[in-house]
Amino acid sequence: MGNRKENSTNMLNEKCIIEGCDLTYAVCKIGGRWKLLILCKLEKGKLRFSEIRKQIPNITERMLTLQLRDLEKEGLLKRTVYAEVPPRVDYELTEIANDLIPIWRQLENWGAKHKGLVKQSN
């Protein structure tokens, strides 16, 4: 959610909606341009930051860092730092995120079926 003021009207409205609707809660956890894509890239196992970055070439390093932090904070990613020189960091899905795999597969199928049916406007 970034650096927004916690007592702002927008934040209070968002909190109210999230607490009142399970679907909205779920979408807020994985929504946005990058989060679901990052999670999907980790479906087959652990990856390092540079490996994720190579698989998502259009994301900036800063944005990837922010998204990985958010996903870790939400309990969807596990970050493991190894005591090596240079330090090595791996990212992997948590059990909670693994529960999402069949859901994003269904979303992927829906997208494949419907994306050609709706004309994109710029």
* Residue percentage of the chain with pLDDT more than 70: 82
Please state which CATH class domain 32-114 belongs to. mainly alpha
pLDDT tens, position by position, 6-23: 666 676 666 666 677 788
User: Quick check: 117 pLDDT over 90?
Assistant: no
What's residue 5's pLDDT? 63
More confident residue, 47 or 10: 47
Whole-angstrom distance, CA of residue 76 vs CA of residue 93: 6
Please tell me the total number of residues recorded for the chain in this structure. Answer: 122
> Which stretch of 59-63, 93-97, 117-121 has the lowest confidence by average pLDDT?
117-121
For 119, the token pair is: 């004309």
Q: What is the dihedral of CA 50, 53, 54, 58, to 10 degrees?
A: -160
Q: What is the pLDDT of residues 19-40, one digit of tens each?
A: 777 887 788 888 889 999 999 9
Residue 96: both structure tokens together: 């909670």
Q: What residue segments make up the domains of the chain, in order of their start?
A: 1-30, 32-114
pTM of this prediction exceeds 0.75: yes
